[in-house]
Amino acid sequence: MSTLGDVWGPTKKQDKYVFSKINSFTTMNLDYLRTILPIKKLFFPQKQELFSFNLGEGNKKTIKAVDDSKHRILFGLHPCEINALNIQDGFFMFGDYSDPYYEDLRNNTIVVGYSCLPDNNCFCNFTGTSDVDEGYDLFINNLDDYYLVFVNSTTGNDIVIQNQEMFDEDISKIDLNNYKKWVNKRNSMFKHEYGDITNNITKLMDLNYNDEFWDKLGEECLSCGTCTISCPTCSCYNVVDKLSVGTIGLGFREREWDSCQLPQFSVVAGNVDFRVTRASRLKLYYSHKLVTYGNDGPSCVGCGRCIEQCPVDINVLRVVKNLTEVDL
């Protein structure tokens, strides 16, 4: 596979996992469940130089776009991660307003998915993202004794054709039954039972918009931004021009991750801040995660990172529990 480009996959980092560039398949750890940062970091990096400029003098102004898009293979992405990438596609590649930096990185990347079994923090059963139908080239289902591979693009098909000795295209009824058994086993392992996220959460969010529960969360929240940084579907960024010291007119424009949970995020011209309280910022985040993001409905994919990483235990499941619970 390395002939197709740089290979990236999950590797162990102390007791956590990260997506890193792989030089040997032995360093890849497919037993992982979730990485610290989601794969969005490879399409929309934490800091990304967009272009450099030299304003010079007279007619010598130059602007040079940065193109660091290379061919890559991302190996071992779970369904929630690919579903999150599809949501990022909707944000960055929306009709005529496609972001060229993101689009180049996306078009130059082969995505190979890999099946997983949930732990106590996974709830993709509840967000409808435990399986994925698009956004990948190949998807490998580990059925214990062998792998069932879904092909979802011409690139994926080319890889299969070029490596025919690794694949057997005769799928039998036994294979299908083994797959169904595996899906049933996976589904029975989820611990969280809230029903379908899309069902009535919109109404409940509206009806509870002024509930004191939000103020309580606001008092607990540290405004650290960890939930947005670790969330695979958060895509807010800031753009800043950085000038070099000592050379007039020379500099570069950089895009960097931002977070709606940070105090200065909603400050606009005139120093007006329309989301002063932490409660109001949390309502924004959870409206995007549970109700609508763009035109595409909720954006939570149930990866469990906010459960694992928020230092004060604010997360989607806690919010949903409060929205749905009946007070007696």
Nearer to ligand SF4, 88 or 159 (CB): 88
221 binds ligand SF4 (CB under 6 A): yes
302 binds ligand SF4 (CB under 6 A): yes
Which of 190, 289, 291, 319 binds ligand SF4 (CB under 6 A)? It is 289
Give the C-alpha separation, 43 to 119, whole Å: 27
288 binds ligand SF4 (CB under 6 A): no
Residues 56-115 that bind ligand SF4 (CB under 6 A): none
CA distances from 66 to 5, 156, 258 (A): 19, 29, 21
Which of 85, 301, 320, 323 binds ligand SF4 (CB under 6 A)? It is 301
Q: Are 285 and 260 in contact (CB under 8 A)?
A: yes
Residue 189, phi then psi, degrees to nearest 5: -90, -10
Tokens 């392992």, residue located: 189
232 binds ligand SF4 (CB under 6 A): yes
**How many residues make contact with ligand SF4 (CB under 6 A)?**
25
312 binds ligand SF4 (CB under 6 A): yes
> Residue 293 has what DSSP assignment?
S
Nearer to ligand SF4, 109 or 230 (CB): 230
Nearer to ligand SF4, 111 or 151 (CB): 111
261 binds ligand SF4 (CB under 6 A): yes
Q: Calculate the CA 8 to chain-centre distance.
A: 16
Cα 264-322-196 angle, rounded to 5 deg: 100
Q: Shortest gap between Cβ of 79 and ligand SF4 (angstroms)? A: 12
Which of 29, 223, 322, 324 binds ligand SF4 (CB under 6 A)? It is 223
Contact range with ligand SF4 by CB under 6 A, out of 202-210, 238-246, 264-272, 300-308? 300-308
Q: Are 82 and 136 in contact (CB under 8 A)?
A: yes
Specify which residues 47 forms β-bridges with: 256
Closest CA to 226 of 126, 323, 307, 129: 307
294 binds ligand SF4 (CB under 6 A): no
Which of 130, 233, 235, 287 binds ligand SF4 (CB under 6 A)? It is 233
Nearer to ligand SF4, 149 or 316 (CB): 316
Which of 111, 112, 132, 231 binds ligand SF4 (CB under 6 A)? It is 231
Q: Quick check: helix, strand or coil at residue 251?
A: strand
Give the C-alpha separation, 293 to 306, whole Å: 18
Q: Are 76 and 28 in contact (CB under 8 A)?
A: yes
Q: Are 11 and 28 in contact (CB under 8 A)?
A: yes
Which residues of the shown chain bind ligand SF4 in the complex (CB under 6 A)?
221-227, 230-233, 261, 289, 300-306, 310-312, 314, 316
